[in-house]
Amino acid sequence: MKWLFPLMILVAFEGLADIFAKEWSLRAAGWKAAAALACYLAANTFWLFALRSGAGLARGELIFSVSCTGLALGLGVLLYRETLSQAQWVGTALGLISIYLLIGHE
């Protein structure tokens, strides 16, 4: 599971990029857009390393997608006071369960 480390770095850069993108959308400072783009580029660089290390396209992408969704959800709710419906919370829980099933049963 040596692919898990670059995948975690990928998710971290994606989360940082999401923060810069949200801040840019709220305050329209050009440097925030540039920082978001740089973080997205760094994130996708680590995607290449994750794939090369054996993440697999299907498994790696699903783990990446659900992890980024969970991170963005946490950032939106905690930092930006966004709200979610009950169905969205259930979807989040199911996504976390899917990551457990994908990683925990390798």
Q: What is the pLDDT of residue 17?
A: 97
Question: What pLDDT is recorded for position 105?
Answer: 61
Question: Can you give the pTM of this predicted structure?
Answer: 0.81
Contact 32, 25 (CB under 8 A): no
Determine the pLDDT at residue 62: 85
Kindly report the three-state secondary structure assignment for every residue of the chain: CCCHHHHHHHHHHHHHHHHHHHHHHHHCCHHHHHHHHHHHHHHHHHHHHHHHCCCCHHHHHHHHHHHHHHHHHHHHHHCCCCCCCHHHHHHHHHHHHHHHHHHHCC
Could you read off the pLDDT tens digit of each residue along the chain, which spans 106 residues?
899 999 999 999 999 999 999 999 998 888 999 999 999 999 999 999 999 999 999 889 888 988 888 899 889 999 999 998 999 889 888 888 887 887 766 5
